[in-house]
Amino acid sequence: MNTRIASDAERDVAASDDLLALENQVCFALAVAARGVIGLYRPILEPLGLTHPQYLVMLALWQRSPRTVRDLGSALQLEPATLSPLLKRLEAQGYLTRERSTRDERALDVSLTDAGRALRAQALEIPPQVVDRLGMSLDELGSLRDRLTEVIAAVQHTA
Amino acid sequence: MNTRIASDAERDVAASDDLLALENQVCFALAVAARGVIGLYRPILEPLGLTHPQYLVMLALWQRSPRTVRDLGSALQLEPATLSPLLKRLEAQGYLTRERSTRDERALDVSLTDAGRALRAQALEIPPQVVDRLGMSLDELGSLRDRLTEVIAAVQHTA
DNA sequence: TCATAATCGTTAGTGTACTAACGATTCGTG
DNA sequence: CACGAATCGTTAGTACACTAACGATTATGA
């Protein structure tokens, strides 16, 4: 993966004026950046037995537990259909339990197990590792996060 | 989808100091932003019979055609295993052909059909629609794209 | 109180996105 | 020239991510 994303622009001299040029598409830059950064997590999360989406679920549960599937979906901007098998696999790994809520039998209470709670200590080492590998400053990353948060707000404003 | 991404931060007062707080994770903001923006494309691309990744492939081929699978993978930062079925479906839709290269029989020449080339005219209407729905200025979007391009470069620098 | 509408999580189906393995072809080196 | 290494695209396997549909439960309004 040593080909830079600009390499095609160098070959297509008119690309900067082309509405449909790949490198002019924010959606493309978002997709590639997201995939790239998530890819950095993969080897780091592997020893913990987590995929990146599972890591995000754990982050949400470390913040607050128990939570319903609906609540997790809202926090993570994911559909219940995505979360259902994902949570099932995390339950199978012993990190969480899913129990029918006593307040509303349609809902599940997703709770951390002791193993799930204990995993947080290892997870604390992850962000610094990723930041280190990325080689971007905390200011840059913070600023980027703020910009992305604005994009997310704009998208949600269209609904 | 009317719950803002900040809603959990409002409830967890210590979140801003928490290394593992969801809203502090750039990877989470990237994932949600990418998914959100790509989601805006879905209803727009549907009449053209394209998914978002397929749209990106078409963008790459409109820029240059024919291209090998390897070349497309490089331009789009996607693995051949991802592209293979994706291109197969685009071929089935009549937008492109895949022929064994005469220069190197390991390679395929992926070429636009007349229908594939003609589709570009409709595609020209897509970015303005998305920008309009998003409600962000072209300057903002351009600046964001530049920042994301830096992230992509940083990720690629780790390889 | 009762019927209808809404909500919850699961399942099914489709399309990615990644890693691993493979057969066929090409390249590089001795 | 011969042989091992590298490359190409496909297939298999796993895990998402989305839409649609469903059965069970809850909420709402007459």
Poorest-pLDDT segment among A66-70, A102-106, B14-18, B155-159: B14-18
The per-residue pLDDT for A23 is: 84
The per-residue pLDDT for B3 is: 37
Q: Say what the ipTM of the complex is.
A: 0.90
CATH topology of domain B50-126: Arc Repressor Mutant, subunit A (1.10.10)
Give the C-alpha distances (Å, rounded to integers) separating A124 from A62, A87, B12: 11, 21, 18
Nearest 10 degrees: Cα torsion B126, B130, B131, B134: 180
Q: Which of B8, B11, B155 sits opposite A40 (nearest CB)?
A: B155
Instruction: Kindly tell me if the per-residue pLDDT of A21 is higher than 80.
Output: yes
Cβ of B36 and A155 within 8 Å?
yes
Residue B99: CB less than 7 A from any atom in strand D: no
CATH topology of domain A51-129: Arc Repressor Mutant, subunit A (1.10.10)
SS3 B43: helix
The band of B94, judged by pLDDT with boundaries at 50, 70 and 90, is: very high
The per-residue pLDDT for A7 is: 45
The per-residue pLDDT for A2 is: 30
Tell me the average pLDDT across A129-157.
94
Instruction: Kindly tell me if the per-residue pLDDT of A119 is higher than 70.
Output: yes
Looking at every residue in chain A, the average pLDDT score rounds to 90
Residue A82: CB less than 7 A from any atom in strand D: yes
User: Hey, what are B34's tokens?
Assistant: 């990418």
Cβ of A77 and B22 within 8 Å?
no
Tell me the average pLDDT across B83-103.
97
Residues in A closer than 8 angstroms to B22, CB to CB, are 56, 59-60, 63, 75-76
Residues in B closer than 8 angstroms to A133, CB to CB, are 158
Neighbours of A22 (CB within 10 A): 22
From the list A37, A33, A36, A5, the residue with the least C-alpha distance to A21 is A5
Task: For B13, name the nearest residue in chain A, comparing CA atoms only.
Answer: A63
